[in-house]
């Protein structure tokens, strides 16, 4: 086994991170020269499903890790078969549930371990079917750049992008707050971005910079506490932001815990006056010139939770969902690199429902068609719709177990939705219960049950690849 040390290349006016990224490799199929495992150029053979399970100590959902299993396309569609992934699955390396990514034809999985002593270590797996996954040994440690709890996604085929924001705060001195002398000061925080080559695992570029709020935005009480779900389109990377706003003209608000008597302070919330959703943009591949773009069509955050929420459409524009609480899909123009503020897909309006709707996960498929997993306020369960982003329409799909109350929370845990040809593969298991892999034909809008998925207490399926 060879070891190569790859120093991160830094560009522009970024602050040098001074980290080393190591890559361990060993021989595997087609790697007789110890070369990179390469891109996914082979036809699709498998649909890989993943599931999360709780830890043994506290029985906390998701704290046990992630299991994977590769199904042939025939197995995936066969409702007479059953998969017990908890007995027969392959354990992907991670102390807790990690954010797993997949290659275009499902022949590779990518994972960065989440938390623990190995948090921040990237692993690549070749999918061989069933519980057979080959670790390619092309290991990277990106913890020095992205922390041991990294936020990252496959931002384009063969390219991963990880992001981190630390140090953002609007501190309150309790003594000053009590005396009425506290003034508002906001620290923007430091954003870090790393590019990961997924075909030949290495980190060709990293950067860090002060979050690029203008002075006016900073003084107005805007803050971003988290950045996530980067997507590459042309020469730009678009990064979702968790946006909030307080009112700096008002004094801090005091709270007293009724049980402990502990006093805490916070700034007065001013979310009603947020001017719009915001996205962080940097140049690709240089990672230079960080800036913000603002939408006037939504005030919701777009940083997501577990699922990718930004996709480059067939028309070349970026489509961005305001997940996991908003009902809108926004558009970033391919030519201008700014929001197209004439465009606003609202799932609530498209479904013609009086209830508030929250997009929990979604995937762009092709030609303006996407599949959306959503919840409705005061309605138990989780629901699925095919959306037409060109015509602003939505078709709610009939799923026999959709009213299960646990979907109201587990839908937000879904990490990926696979599709191949005309079929979309959606694993649906209520927490602790059995379910099925549902096969959605996105062209004729039909749903068929595929393989039965066994359940286990505190566990549920979280993705298809």
For residue 25, pLDDT over 50 is answered with no
| Tens-digit pLDDT profile for residues 159-172 | 999 999 999 999 99
Query: What is the average pLDDT score of the chain?
Result: 92
Query: How far are the Cα atoms of 46, 248, 258, 280 from residue 251, in angstroms, in the given order?
Result: 58, 7, 22, 30
Report the predicted TM-score, pTM, of the whole model to 2 decimal places: 0.93
CA dihedral 26, 31, 36, 38 (to 10 degrees): -140
- Each as own residue / partner, the long-range contacts of residues 206-209 (CB below 8 Å, 24 or more positions apart, any chain) are 206/8, 206/9, 206/10, 206/14, 206/17, 206/19, 206/145, 206/287, 207/10, 207/11, 207/12, 207/14, 207/17, 207/282, 207/287, 207/288, 208/14, 208/15, 208/17, 209/13, 209/14, 209/15, 209/290
Confidence of residue 219 (pLDDT cuts 50, 70, 90): very high
The whole-number pLDDT of residue 31 equals 43
- Range of the structural domain that residue 216 is part of: 150-305
Confidence of residue 16 (pLDDT cuts 50, 70, 90): very low
Read off the tokens for 272: 């009603």
| Tens-digit pLDDT profile for residues 351-386 | 999 999 999 999 999 999 999 999 999 999 999 999
Of 221, 223, 268, the C-alpha closest to 241 is: 223
For residue 7, pLDDT over 60 is answered with no
Confidence of residue 91 (pLDDT cuts 50, 70, 90): very high
**For residue 206, is it within any domain?**
yes
Please tell me the total count of domains within the chain.
1
| Tens-digit pLDDT profile for residues 239-293 | 999 999 999 999 999 999 999 999 999 999 999 999 999 999 999 999 999 999 9
**For residue 267, is it within any domain?**
yes
Of 65, 276, 280, 24, the C-alpha closest to 163 is: 280
Q: What percent of the chain has pLDDT over 90?
A: 89
For residue 19, pLDDT over 90 is answered with no
Read off the tokens for 269: 């919330």
Question: Which residue is it, tokens 């590459």?
Answer: 232
**For residue 253, is it within any domain?**
yes
What are the DSSP calls for 337-354, one per residue? SSB-TT--EEHHHHHT-S
**For residue 254, is it within any domain?**
yes
**For residue 405, is it within any domain?**
no
**For residue 170, is it within any domain?**
yes
Taking residues 411-428, report their average pLDDT.
97
Cβ–Cβ < 8 Å for 17, 208: yes
**For residue 72, is it within any domain?**
no
| Tens-digit pLDDT profile for residues 118-144 | 999 999 999 999 999 999 999 999 999
The whole-number pLDDT of residue 28 equals 38
Confidence of residue 211 (pLDDT cuts 50, 70, 90): very high
Residue 240 DSSP symbol: E
**For residue 114, is it within any domain?**
no
| Tens-digit pLDDT profile for residues 140-149 | 999 999 999 9
């Amino acid at each position: 086994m060879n070891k190569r040390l790859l120093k991160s290349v830094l560009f522009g006016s970024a602050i040098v991170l001074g980290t080393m990224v190591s890559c361990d490799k060993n021989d595997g199929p087609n790697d007789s020269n110890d070369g990179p495992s390469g891109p996914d150029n082979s036809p699709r053979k498998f649909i890989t499903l993943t599931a999360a399970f709780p830890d043994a100590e506290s029985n906390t959902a998701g704290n046990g890790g992630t299991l994977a299993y590769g199904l042939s396309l025939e197995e995936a569609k066969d409702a007479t078969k059953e998969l017990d992934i908890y007995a027969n699955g392959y354990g992907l390396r991670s102390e807790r549930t990690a954010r797993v990514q997949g290659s275009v034809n499902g022949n590779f999985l990518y994972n960065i371990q989440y938390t623990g002593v190995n948090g921040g270590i990237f692993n690549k797996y070749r999918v061989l079917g069933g519980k057979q996954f080959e670790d390619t040994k092309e290991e990277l440690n990106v913890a020095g750049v992205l922390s041991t709890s990294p936020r990252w996604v496959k931002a384009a085929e063969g390219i991963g992008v990880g992001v981190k924001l630390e140090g953002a705060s609007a501190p309150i001195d309790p003594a000053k707050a009590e005396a009425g002398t506290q003034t508002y000061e906001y620290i923007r925080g430091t954003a870090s971005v790393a590019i990961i080559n997924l075909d030949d695992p290495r980190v060709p570029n990293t950067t860090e910079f002060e979050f690029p709020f203008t002075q006016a935005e900073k003084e107005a009480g805007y803050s971003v506490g988290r950045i996530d779900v980067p997507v590459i389109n042309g020469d730009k990377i678009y990064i979702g932001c968790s946006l909030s706003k307080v009112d700096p003209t008002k004094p801090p608000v005091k709270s007293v815990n009724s049980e402990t008597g502990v006093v805490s302070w916070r700034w007065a919330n001013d979310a009603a006056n947020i001017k719009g959703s915001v996205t962080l943009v940097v140049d690709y591949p240089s990672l230079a010139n960080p800036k913000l773009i603002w939408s006037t069509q939504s005030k919701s955050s777009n940083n997501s939770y577990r699922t990718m929420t930004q996709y480059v459409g067939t028309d070349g524009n970026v489509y961005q969902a305001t997940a996991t609480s908003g009902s809108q899909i926004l558009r970033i123009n391919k030519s201008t690199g700014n929001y197209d503020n004439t465009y606003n897909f609202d799932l609530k309006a498209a479904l013609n429902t009086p209830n508030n709707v929250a997009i929990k996960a979604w995937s762009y498929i092709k030609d303006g068609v996407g599949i959306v997993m959503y919840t409705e306020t005061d309605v138990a369960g989780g629901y699925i719709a095919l959306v037409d982003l060109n015509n602003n329409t939505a078709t709610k799909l009939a799923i026999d177990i959709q009213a299960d109350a646990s979907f109201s929370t587990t839908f937000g845990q879904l990490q990926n939705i696979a599709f191949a040809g005309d079929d979309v593969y959606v694993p649906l298991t209520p927490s602790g219960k059995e379910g099925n892999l549902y096969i959605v034909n996105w062209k004729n809008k039909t749903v068929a049950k595929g393989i039965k998925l066994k359940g286990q207490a505190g566990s549920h399926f979280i993705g298809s690849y």
